[in-house]
Structure 1
Amino acid sequence: MVGTKGAETSSRLAESMLELIQRHGYSGTGLNAVVEHAGAPKGSLYFHFPQGKEELGERAVELAAARFGSLVTGSSTATAAVTATASAPATVGEVLGRVIDELAGMLEGSDFQLGCPVSVVTLEMGAESERLRGACADAFESWIAPVSELLVAHGRPRTVARALATAVVSMVEGAVIVSRAQRSTDPLRCAGQAIDVLLAAQGGEASE
């Protein structure tokens, strides 16, 4: 059983993998670099992640899913996320505005070096690794589901809410990529405006 110290080392390795994927991509992130970045003992990586880079990459994707999901829900656990979202007093526009602001701040604060690691891993490894593709699919679902529940809580029919939530997450993900390429948060802000229009056209103002 891994003790507290071991759990801390495992967590540092996953955090380092996540940050390095955001900066250099999955393929550009070597395991030696992860160990060095984490300040972990040599040999600790395969102790904690015996299946190597894919297992560590999967953990990093899960970490990213929880972290980005908390922008919507304020909770890092899927069950609590849906519950919190469904009962949240915030309007759809307020929640999505917060997400856009946080992502814009992340981009500007990192000089546009950090992006969404889930999209990075999907683009690089989705056709190469079923394990990583599945982890990325689960990550996207963990964001779509609470957004859908939020829309249901604000009066959208469930089938419509699901379609809108999928579109919203897809638009934001694409906007982050374009913002990094252009070194500007304008594409992300434009996506936010477009989402407002989309939600308004599908049953009420986004800001409600």
Structure 2
Amino acid sequence: MGETKGARTSARLVESMLDLIQSRGYSGTGLNTVVEHAHAPKGSLYFHFPEGKEALGAKAVELAAERFRSLVASSALESRTPGEVVRRVIDVLAGMLVDSDFSLGCPVSVVTLEMGAQSERLRDACAGAFDSWITPLAEYLGAHGQPRAAARAVATTVVSAVEGAVIVSRAQRSVEPLRSAASVLAVLLDQGDARTAEASW
């Protein structure tokens, strides 16, 4: 069955909220602006999101998480080593920054920094988003021979480093911080992968 009109409207609202968070921040995004951006009927926002802005923001964070998770998954399928996965992901992120003239950041980090101390709902959504990136990366590293605890620690470090590099790149209006992160992380990941392979002989 096709998507209903209501579902399409709801999806447009979430998409618009995500776009606006990336460019204006969560606090700088008003609900009227979201409705206008989505070309949605007036009143549709509270029909689909009766709990208001926090509920819509949480859905936008979930959408951002899903997109990044898909990027990592597709990069893993096209890569031979963990280091290559990270390089592919960072290449895409660097391209997005350049294409937006460094105006778009990671919406999950934006919402975390702005609202993490004020809204438990949004903090939980952001924590879930980060975990949804760390867990499959840890599983991927585990499949490449990393011990479980080490794989989780490394995956957490990779996600944290990439998030930080995006912020520094925006501040400096340069993708050099991202490129540096890619180079260092790729070397560390592939050295670990090589050591694991040697130990298995």
Structures share fold, TM-score greater than 0.5: yes
2:155 to 152, 165, 175: 165
CA shift at 1:202, angstroms?
A: 3.9
Q: Which runs of structure 2 are paired with 1:23-34 in the superposition (5 Å)?
A: 23-34=23-34
2:83 to 93, 109, 112: 93
Q: Give % identity.
A: 70
Task: Give the structure 2 partner of residue 106 of structure 1.
Answer: 96
Task: Give the structure 2 partner of residue 177 of structure 1.
Answer: 167
Pair 1:88–1:113, CA change in 2 (3 A): closer
What runs of 5+ residues in structure 1 fail to find an aligned partner?
76-84
Q: Is 1:19 aligned to residue 19 of structure 2? A: yes
1:133 to 112, 123, 130: 123
What runs of 5+ residues in structure 2 fail to find an aligned partner?
196-201
Q: Which runs of structure 2 are paired with 1:58-77 in the superposition (5 Å)?
A: 58-74=58-74
CA shift at 1:194, angstroms?
A: 1.6
Task: Give the structure 2 partner of residue 45 of structure 1.
Answer: 45
1: distance between equivalents of 2:121 and 2:192?
36
One-letter amino acid of the structure 1 residue matched with residue 186 of structure 2: D
Judge which range, 193-202 or 110-119, deviates more: 193-202
Q: Is 1:194 aligned to residue 184 of structure 2? A: yes
2: distance between equivalents of 1:184 and 1:109?
12
Q: How high is the TM-score relative to the length of structure 2?
A: 0.91
1:155 to 142, 145, 148: 145
2: distance between equivalents of 1:204 and 1:50?
52
Equivalent position SS for 2:194? coil
1: distance between equivalents of 2:90 and 2:109?
17
CA shift at 1:93, angstroms?
A: 1.8
Task: Give the structure 1 partner of residue 8 of structure 2.
Answer: 8
1: distance between equivalents of 2:183 and 2:116?
30
Equivalent position SS for 1:74? helix
Task: Give the structure 2 partner of residue 81 of structure 1.
Answer: none
Structure 1 runs of 4+ with >3 Å offset: 87-90, 200-203
2: distance between equivalents of 1:111 and 1:90?
31
How many residue pairs are counted as aligned between the two chains?
193
